[in-house]
Structure 1
Amino acid sequence: MVGENGKKMKILCLHGFRTSGSFLKKQISKWDPSLFHQFDLDFPDGKFPAGGKSDIEGIFPPPYFEWFQFDKDFTEYTNLEECISYLCEYITANGPFDGFLGFSQGATLSALLIGYQAQASDYCCGKLLKEHPPIKLCVSISGSKFRDPSICDVAYKDPLKAKSVHFIGDKDWLKLPSEELASAFDTPLIIRHPQGHTVPRLDEVSTGQLRNVIREVVGQPEDQEKDTKKVEISNGEAGTVQVAIA
């Protein structure tokens, strides 16, 4: 899609834990290419080399990367501030970006950055993000919220205003955390699918709904407000699509 200034809109795409930007590019290649062919999609690698075995070994070639490290309860994080500083610098150097797309750890980070931008937080480059144009779109695949209260009290203090799409798998071990993340956004669109922790294939219905959101992001004035309603659509392979229409 082309923005109001005639330039392609840019989407920053953040990969999952111990994978790579190239792998995420392959993952979303199963989607209808017409969804994104007019965007500039940027697929950086995580700041840190993978510190252990990758789930995609034997499936996709190395190297593999991770954005930060965490404990088994996902309440304590290592190198998170360094990761966010790195991303803020990357966004400043390569942006501006109109939206984020992320899988798993990348989706979790995408929502966090949007929250910090909204609050202009002193924590981890929030003020730097405040100088960046507001992020308009967030596509979250198997994302989750951070659980540290010191982060939650800032990033999710108010509903996140970016237009958001959340892919949630019925068999995903992050199903409930993904639903919690969706609830942090104002009028989220939730697309459910019967698979696990993966980027799902999209049928015609879910492809159309994602395309409609993209059109809204491109053409909707920032000050335009509409009433919100929810509908459910039977959606073949992708299960039930719960659509929040702004």
Structure 2
Amino acid sequence: MAKQSDGDNNAKPRILCLHGKFQSGSIFSNKIAGARRKLSRGYDLHFLDGPIVLEDECANDDDMSLAPRSWWLRSDDGKHTLVDEALDYVIQHTDTDSYDAILGFSQGGTLATALSLSGAFPNIRAVITAGAPYIPEAFEVAASYSSNLDNPNKVGYDTPKLHLVGETDALVAVESTRQLCEHGGNGSLIVHDQGHLFPTRSARVQEILDFLTDAFSR
């Protein structure tokens, strides 16, 4: 398991970055290099590898940081499995009190929203997702976590969330991300003209930066 960090300035707000399926922390970091460089000027980004190595997708390469991974799987009947293990894994492999925001792409975006609602990251002030679907099982696991807290109905619900989705995304429908936004609480939805990706165009990255500035000023 590898966790990458961009920037050594501990004074910067820390953002946990969660990749999509068929990616890893390193792959995701490289994919969003343009956005990463701009975000890193003001934030300390940490890229975490998912727990499930997709062996069938692995190339003949000894570098496990490039091994495609997943946070959970989908069974033949369409149900998402190992979702609770995914939340457990992130909690066990991070210093949950030290993060100020969570950013995620695709599966990682759904997981970012669920982690916010779970209450496991008490200091989260912002969540950013891109190409992330609404997955009921993730919300069920988050609710199970938060049920042990004093005020479970409010945990993470008021945390500002920005959800981006492409109108030409062939993997995640706009409506699915819209549902994620509605169920996640206090969310804003941006539909862009691209496909299934984390936007790196200057205008979109600036929207993300503006969102973070506003969230951290509250």
Question: Which TM-score bucket, shorter chain as reference?
Answer: 0.7 to 0.9
What is the CA-CA distance between 1:195 and the residue it aligns to? 1.8
Aligned to 2:206: 208
Aligned to 1:27: 31
What is the CA-CA distance between 1:145 and the residue it aligns to? 2.2
Aligned to 1:89: 92
What is the CA-CA distance between 1:138 and the residue it aligns to? 0.6
What is the CA-CA distance between 1:102 and the residue it aligns to? 0.5
Aligned to 2:178: 179
Cα 1:148/1:83, change in 2 over 3 Å: closer
Q: Which amino acid aligns with 1:91?
A: T
How far apart in 2 are the matches of 1:7 and 1:150? Answer: 32
How far apart in 2 are the matches of 1:95 and 1:29? Answer: 26
Secondary structure (helix, strand or coil) at the match of 1:112 reads: helix
Tell me the alpha carbon deviations over residues 158-186 of structure 1, each in whole angstroms, 9 at most, x when there is no partner: 68222111111101131221111111233
Cα 1:148/1:84, change in 2 over 3 Å: closer
Query: Does structure 2 retain, via aligned residues, the 8 Å contact 1:146–1:152?
Result: no
Secondary structure (helix, strand or coil) at the match of 1:30 reads: helix
RMSD between superposed Cα atoms in Å: 2.9
How far apart in 2 are the matches of 1:138 and 1:70? Answer: 24
Cα 1:153/1:47, change in 2 over 3 Å: closer
What is the CA-CA distance between 1:14 and the residue it aligns to? 0.5
Unaligned runs of 5+ in 2: 1-9, 59-64, 147-152
What is the CA-CA distance between 1:191 and the residue it aligns to? 2.1
Q: Which amino acid aligns with 2:56?
A: G
Secondary structure (helix, strand or coil) at the match of 1:191 reads: strand
Structure 1 stretches of 4+ moved >4 Å: 155-159
Aligned to 2:112: 110
How far apart in 2 are the matches of 1:137 and 1:199? Answer: 17
Correspondence 1:1-246 to 2 at 5 A? 7-31=11-35, 33-53=37-57, 62-71=66-75, 74-77=78-81, 79-92=82-95, 95-117=97-119, 129=120, 132-148=121-137, 151=140, 154=143, 160-172=157-169, 173-175=171-173, 176-204=175-203, 206-220=204-218
Q: Which amino acid aligns with 1:212?
A: D
TM-score w.r.t. the length of structure 1 is 0.68
Tell me the alpha carbon deviations over residues 103-125 of structure 1, each in whole angstroms, 9 at most, x when there is no partner: 111111111111111xxxxxxxx
Query: Does structure 2 retain, via aligned residues, the 8 Å contact 1:47–1:66?
Result: yes
Secondary structure (helix, strand or coil) at the match of 1:43 reads: strand
Tell me the alpha carbon deviations over residues 113-172 of structure 1, each in whole angstroms, 9 at most, x when there is no partner: 11111xxxxxxxxxxx2xx43311111011122224981792796682221111111011
Aligned to 1:237: none
Query: Does structure 2 retain, via aligned residues, the 8 Å contact 1:17–1:66?
Result: yes
Cα 1:178/1:52, change in 2 over 3 Å: farther
What is the CA-CA distance between 1:32 and the residue it aligns to? 7.2
Identity %: 22
Query: Does structure 1 retain, via aligned residues, the 8 Å contact 2:52–2:69?
Result: yes
Cα 1:72/1:217, change in 2 over 3 Å: farther
Q: How many residues are matched?
A: 194
